[in-house]
Amino acid sequence: MSDAARSEAAQSGAGQIYPLGLKVAGRLVVVVGGGPVAARRVRSLVDAGARVRVVAPHTVLGEQGLAVASEPMDGEPAPGTVQWVRREYRTGDLDGAWLAHMATGSAVTDQQVADDAERARVFCVTAGDASVGSAWVPAVARTTLTDGAEVTVAVTAGRDPRRARAIRDAVAGQLQSGALPLRRQRARAGADADGAAPGRVWLVGGGPGDTGLITARGRSVLAQADVVVVDRLGPRALLDELAPEVEVIDVGKTSGNHPVPQHEINALLVQHARAGRDVVRLKGGDPYVFGRGGEELAACRAADIAVEVVPGVTSAVSVPAAVGIPVTHRGIARGFSVLTGHDGAAQVPGGPDHTLVLLMGVTHLADTATALITADRPADTPAAVVEDGYGPRQRVTVGTLSTIAARAAAAGVKPPAIIVVGDVVRLSPAWPTP
């Protein structure tokens, strides 16, 4: 094809775009123009390690925090730096370039650069009329996965940059939320002949059980897991979204029934990570709020397994909120304490203006309520039991320290449930109005 034919095809937009990622590190890229659009291009190129030369009589690069050296075209700029040639563009400025960007605001200059690039067989991008250039910059979304790999998604949309950005943003949201298939399909770098390189462990707080209350980070690492070790109170509906090859190990506990002891759970995490698998320990609430996350973290570290804690929305705060009970409220409660209902509840100081949140306390509710009655915390202190917060059988039973155990028994209250003690209980819609 002649140069004229190639130019005509490029101008007409004939043929489909061939998507391609360019490795520009250490290579010369010429940017013609010095305004804000050019500065954004330069920033991206510098971040990619390119040798960047800017040709423009004026520039705002310094205002963008870029290190700029104003100098003639003697030699190439160092990688990751910007060489500024302070004048208008001239034919020959593309000599030695691998790529050209033009953002001049002048149709005449853009056309001159495009013609020179065509003759020099250098691809060029224009920020003005896209049909003038021979390459296009897509809207890009990047995310780093749990194994360190970077996923880059580039979107073009028929030379409609706003549409491309809208699609890019939607894809980026799905990458961050874990809605897309992010699991590693090849053995990680550094694997031995058997494909076994140590995996990683994530201790993920899944929140109170509602799938919408797990953090974006938690959902993202869950989507990349090879093995999921799950509790009974985690957001188990998310397990249905996992790929069929993901191994799910249920270690859920119920009141008085711990089929998998904690030391065996610790061993499972280490065992699968040593086999080269990425492991998510999916827990209810937050891993560090009575979730024994600290013990699991210590076990992984002792075995030299990389481990990260992903915090979760603790049920101690979120479940009372589900039924309209804030744990603090101006003029009513200035602080709160969270403890288990197994023992020690009676030792917590404070009166009705200090909220007590008791986890795992249904079985011993009668004894706990009696022990909590003190001179500072009278028998008529409001109390509530919230069952299955955010679950299908969510229910709240209210009373006082003197009546809550009998009312809970009459209602047939069952775990999982959270007990709230203090004047904030009166703020719940379930509290009877005078």
> Which residues lie closer than 8 Å to 132 by C-beta, 6 or more apart?
11, 107, 110, 111, 114, 126
Q: Are 197 and 190 in contact (CB under 8 A)?
A: yes
Please compute, for residue 434, the number of CA atoms within 13 A of its CA located in the half-sphere on the CB side: 1
Q: Are 301 and 307 in contact (CB under 8 A)?
A: yes
Q: Are 91 and 100 in contact (CB under 8 A)?
A: no
Q: Which of 231, 278, 286, 388 is catalytic?
A: 231
Q: Are 380 and 404 in contact (CB under 8 A)?
A: no
Residue 278 known to be catalytic = no
Tokens of 65: 């925090």
What's the rounded Cα separation, in Å, for the pair 106 and 62?
Answer: 22
**Directed axis angle between helix 293-302 and helix 262-274, to 10°?**
40
What's the rounded Cα separation, in Å, for the pair 263 and 268?
Answer: 9
**Within its chain, how far is the Cα of 393 from the centroid?**
30
Q: Are 382 and 333 in contact (CB under 8 A)?
A: no
- Measured at the alpha carbon of residue 184, what is the angle toward residues 25 and 236, in degrees to the nearest 5? 135
Residue 203: CB atoms within 10 Å: 29
3-state secondary structure of 308: strand
Q: Which of 147, 210, 253, 367 is catalytic?
A: 253
Residue 253 known to be catalytic = yes
Active site residues: 231, 253
